[in-house]
Amino acid sequence: MENLDELERQQWWDQIEKALDNEEIDHFRAEFLELHPYDQAQIFIEQSKKIRMQIYTYLSPDEMAEVFENIELDDIDSILTEMEPRFAADILAEMALDDAVDILNSLEQNEVASFLAIMNAKSANEIKDLLHYEEKTSGSIMTTEFVRVKSSMTIREALNHLRKEAPDAETIYYVYVIDDDKHLVGVISLRDIIISEEDWYVSDVMSDRIVSVPAGEDQESAAKMMRDYDLLALPVVDFQNHLLGIITVDDIMDVIQEEASEDYSKLAAVSDMDKVDTGAWMAAKKRLPWLIILLFLGMLTASLIGRFEETLDKVALLAIFIPLIAGMAGNTGTQALAVAVRGIATGESDQEGKLKILAREAGTGLITGLCCGVLITVIIYLWKDEFYLGLLVGISIMLTLIVATLAGSLIPLLMHKMKVDPAVASGPFITTINDIISILIYFGMATAFMDVLL
């Protein structure tokens, strides 16, 4: 069934609500379970606690597991606390392993221990095997619910094995091949299995050109690999090339969204993107460290301006162009920063070459600086009838834009080289640094050419 828009969802919910009000279990189940799991989840989370408690009594843990797999992690914590613990544990046990691990990783340790203690032993052990991987690594987002076959099997044996394992597997588009020691040795597509002769051996049909990722590798690297190789699933291995699990494309989409949100937060000088329900104190606590750093850098900018007090006393007109110079530097630096961080995140900087990027940005800064410098020189001359002042501001803007563009691209590249997340070179940080540089250029030139301005 196709996803519903808001109006259709409301109309469908009216029918479901009627079945709930009349306590018509069969009618409710028929209407609710006909929906796509995403629409089930959207309808479910919009309801009051009272209605949700009623829904729990009408659906099995297996049916609720599908709903849970489509609910955002931020909403699940509060829902789990309102449920009977045994029922919640049964739902987690029925979910795809990687989704259940994601939920448990978002809970407190005592809550995780409680759910694992009342969960069936098989599911609890499978989840424990994944929980020990460090957060945001490939191992932490992989699933162990996949199909693997041995290279010594015939296609007939592989097909029989596939029929047996497929119902519990998250995906069967790729079937991974292992040897007797569980080393990953190949991969075979579902299509190749279907079209091959039954008496052929898997080793004759499989491809041994395998793309895999170590369990300890950062999840962002896994996302890049899946993008670069156009994969629907990516095998995860240990340091001895034993096959541990696979990462599926739906998890990678979540990773991409998470990483993009995280980078945006850092570019805005926020340690973590504030949630809507985050309290004012917690939001302020996250933002204060960067703001305090920027406050002291701002004081440095103010003290620099103070050092040129004599220059300002002689030519007071210089003061009105300070916001213009500083603003242009900040904007240009932030633009260059965004391009550089994006290039690093997508891997384009490695392919293109860092020196080539810096040369391009220097050229960009020169062209934009020259254009803006000439334009502001003409504007000031026509506005104030001050050619030399206009020339001073124009040259200052040109030099400032060149330096700001280089700083905006060079700083994140250096951070990346030092294994520091380049996104922490946040917009406000670059802006403040460029403010200092632009003030030094502007007032330095003004002091040097004071005789011409007077």
Report how far residue 97's alpha carbon sits from residue 383's, in angstroms, rounded to the nearest whole number.
69
pLDDT (0 to 100) of residue 3: 57
pLDDT (0 to 100) of residue 407: 85
What's the token pair of residue 137? 């690594």
Which CATH number applies to 6-136: 1.10.260.40, 3.40.50.12780, 1.25.60.10, 2.60.120.260? 1.25.60.10
- The bridge status of strand 213-214 relative to strand 184-189 is unpaired
Return all residues near 62 (Cβ < 8 A) that are at least 6 apart: 94
CATH class as words, domain 148-249: alpha beta
For each of the chain's 454 residues, which pLDDT tens digit applies?
A: 445 566 776 777 788 888 888 888 998 898 889 888 888 898 898 888 988 999 999 999 999 999 999 998 878 888 888 999 999 999 999 998 888 998 998 888 899 999 999 999 999 999 998 998 988 899 999 999 999 999 999 999 999 999 999 988 888 889 999 999 999 999 999 999 999 999 999 999 999 999 999 999 999 889 989 988 999 999 999 999 999 999 999 888 888 877 766 665 555 555 554 454 556 777 677 667 766 776 777 777 777 777 777 776 766 777 788 888 888 888 888 788 777 777 776 666 665 667 787 888 888 889 998 999 899 999 988 988 888 888 888 898 899 899 888 888 888 888 777 776 665 555 667 777 888 888 888 888 888 777 776 6
Domain 280-453 has CATH 1.10.357.20: yes
pLDDT (0 to 100) of residue 416: 74
Geometric angle at alpha carbon 427, from 421 and 430, rounded to 5°: 90
What's the token pair of residue 400? 């400032």
Report how far residue 394's alpha carbon sits from residue 386's, in angstroms, rounded to the nearest whole number.
12
pLDDT (0 to 100) of residue 361: 85
What's the token pair of residue 164? 């047996």
CB-side neighbour CA atoms (13 Å) of 240: 6
- CB-CB contact of 67 with 37 (8 Å): yes
Closest CA to 348 of 282, 262, 409: 409
pLDDT (0 to 100) of residue 161: 94
Long-range contacts of 9-18 (CB under 8 A, 24+ apart): 9/39, 9/42, 9/43, 12/39, 12/43, 13/43, 13/46, 16/43, 17/51
- CB-CB contact of 390 with 381 (8 Å): yes
What residues does each domain of the chain span?
6-136, 148-249, 280-453
pLDDT (0 to 100) of residue 274: 47
- The bridge status of strand 233-237 relative to strand 243-248 is antiparallel
Report how far residue 403's alpha carbon sits from residue 417's, in angstroms, rounded to the nearest whole number.
20
pLDDT (0 to 100) of residue 454: 60
Report how far residue 106's alpha carbon sits from residue 101's, in angstroms, rounded to the nearest whole number.
9
3-state secondary structure 382-422: HHHCCHHHHHHHHHHHHHHHHHHHHHHHHHHHHHHHCCCCH
At 337, give phi and psi (nearest 5°): -60, -45
pLDDT (0 to 100) of residue 269: 53
